[in-house]
Amino acid sequence: MKKIEILSRLKNAGVIAVVRGKTSEEALNACHAIIKGGLTGIELTFTVPQADQVIKELLATYQEREEIVIGAGTVLDAVTARLAILAGAEYIVSPCFDKETAELCNLYQVPYLPGCMTIDEIKTALKSGVDIVKLFPGSAFGPSIVSAFKAPMPQVNIMPTGGVSLENMQDWFDAGVVTVGVGGNLLAPAATGDFEKVTEVAKQYAAKMKEIAG
């Protein structure tokens, strides 16, 4: 039931914050600021130095907060996926589909969200046990592509990442996505150390998600 429970928390989170940073300290502070703002989904990318240690620290800090779900992003291979899972990552996100990573995640019953751009890639991912497909980059398509993908594959669960904003979030959910990944405009203030601004923007996303969820 572990995998189902994590998938449920991802859906309930609604907005997954894709966290990058030049240093592990910057990324960690950004995560704290985002959670303070009311968002409960964190995707800590493996472009962050010592990303596995940041994941461990986040899990230790928020172990009493059952609604918070923390995963690893920009996972390019099964070796990195295993490192992330051993650090406690609750789900794995990749910019593209990787069969070995899918098999490893299935072995550990950890959700795998690979980036896909075509019907063929989505079909391959679903056959390999993927429950949520990451539409990446979302900015290359827009919300209208969701119905195009769902016409032949109504069973596919989609999470767009890249190109999702406060202005178009409603359009994505109206199109039928299960959750959205948000990075750039949410994390931009972190680069200059303005974590209060990160919290402020996170509050806006949390409020928008609450409005969408009704």
Given 3, 26, 90, 134, the catalytic residue: 134
Average pLDDT over residues 37-58: 98
Residue 214 has pLDDT above 90, yes or no: no
Model confidence pTM above 0.75: yes
Task: Flag whether pLDDT at 16 surpasses 90.
Answer: yes
134 is catalytic: yes
* pLDDT score recorded for residue 6: 97
User: pLDDT tens across 112-145, in order?
Assistant: 999 999 999 999 999 999 999 999 888 888 999 9
64 is catalytic: no
User: Which pLDDT band, with edges at 50, 70 and 90, does 184 fall under?
Assistant: confident
Q: What is the pLDDT of residue 141?
A: 86
Q: Where are the domains of the chain?
A: 2-204
Of 3, 43, 90, 208, the catalytic one is 43
Q: Do 159 and 113 form a contact (C-beta atoms < 8 A)?
A: yes
Write down the CATH superfamily of domain 2-204: Aldolase class I (3.20.20.70)
Sheet holding 133-135, edge to edge: 158-160, 133-135, 112-116, 92-94, 69-73, 41-45, 15-19, 180-182
Task: Evaluate if residue 76 carries a pLDDT over 90.
Answer: yes
